A and B are shown apart, each in its own frame.
Chain A
Amino acid sequence: MFERIIAIIIKEFIELRRDNSARFRLIVPTILQMLLFGYAATYEVYHVSTAVLDLDHSQESRELLSHFTASNRFDVVEEARSQRDITAAIDRSDAAVALVIHAGFAELLRKGRSAPLQVIVDGTNSNTALIALGYVNAIAANFAKDYATDLAQRISGTAGARQVQVVLEQRPWFNPDLNGRWFFVPGLIGTLTLVIVVNLTAFAIVREREVGTLEQIMVSPIRPVEFILGKTVPFFVIGLFQVALIVAVGTLWFQVPFAGNPLVLVLGSVLFLLSTLALGLLISTLCSTQQQAFSLNFFILNPFFILSGFSFPISSMPQVLQWLTYVNPLRYYLVVIRGTFLKGVGLGVLWPELAAMAAIALILLATSILRFRKSLE
Chain B
Amino acid sequence: MNAGTPIVAAEALTKRFAESVAVDGLTFSVDRGEIFGLVGPDGAGKTTTMRMLAGVLPPDAGSIVVDSVDVVADPEGAKQHISYMPQRFGLYEDLTVDENIRFYADLFEVPSALREERATRLLAASGMSQFRARLAGQLSGGMKQKLGLTCALVHTPQVLLLDEPTTGVDPVSRRDFWRILYGLREEGVTILISTAYLDEAERCNRLALLYGGRVLYCDTPVALKRHMPGALIVITSSAGRDARAAIARLAGVSNVVLVGDGVHAVVDDSRLRIPELRQALEGVNVPFANIAVGEPSIEDVFMALLDDPEAPR
Contacts and interface: CB of A to CB of B under 8 A. Distances in A.
A159 interface: no
Interface in B77-116: 79-80, 82-84, 86, 88-95, 99, 102-104, 106-109
B262 to A, nearest CB: 42
A217 interface: yes
A48 to B, nearest CB: 54
A14 B95 contact: yes
Contacts of A221: 76, 79-80, 107-109
A213 B92 contact: yes
B86 A216 contact: yes
B95 A211 contact: no
Nearest to B83: A219
A219 B56 contact: yes
Contacts of B106: 3-4, 6-7
Given A219-B55, A219-B84, A18 B107 contact: no
Contact of B90 (A3, A7, A18, A212): A212
Contacts of B84: 219
A377 interface: yes
A377 B52 CA distance: 11
Interface string B278-290: 0000000000000
B99 A4 contact: no
A94 interface: no
A222 interface: yes
Contact of B99 (A14, A217, A376): A14
A218 interface: yes
B201 interface: no
A284 to B, nearest CB: 16
Contacts of B88: 211-212
Nearest to B94: A18
A222 B82 CA distance: 14
Contacts of B86: 212, 215-216
B162 interface: no
Nearest to A221: B79
Given A3-B109, A7-B107, A219 B82 contact: yes
B54 interface: yes
B154 to A, nearest CB: 10
Contacts of A25: none
B89 A212 contact: yes
A208 interface: yes
A215 B94 contact: no
Given A15-B94, A18-B94, A19-B94, A216 B103 contact: no
Interface string B48-77: 000000111110000000000000000010
A377 B58 contact: yes
B99 to A, nearest CB: 6
Contact of A208 (B79, B80, B90): B90
A214 interface: yes
A7 B79 contact: no
Interface string A366-377: 000000000011
Contacts of B104: 216, 220
Contacts of B58: 377
A330 B107 CA distance: 36
Contacts of B99: 11, 14
Nearest to B106: A7
B90 A216 contact: yes
Nearest to A17: B94
B90 A217 contact: yes
A213 B94 CA distance: 12
B108 A220 contact: yes
A216 B55 contact: no
Contacts of A218: 56
A4 B107 contact: yes
Pairs of residues from A and B, 3 with the lowest C-beta to C-beta distance, nearest first: A213-B90, A7-B106, A216-B90
5 contacts: A7-B103, A11-B95, A211-B88, A214-B90, A377-B57
Interface of B: 54-58, 76, 79-80, 82-84, 86, 88-95, 99, 102-104, 106-109, 135
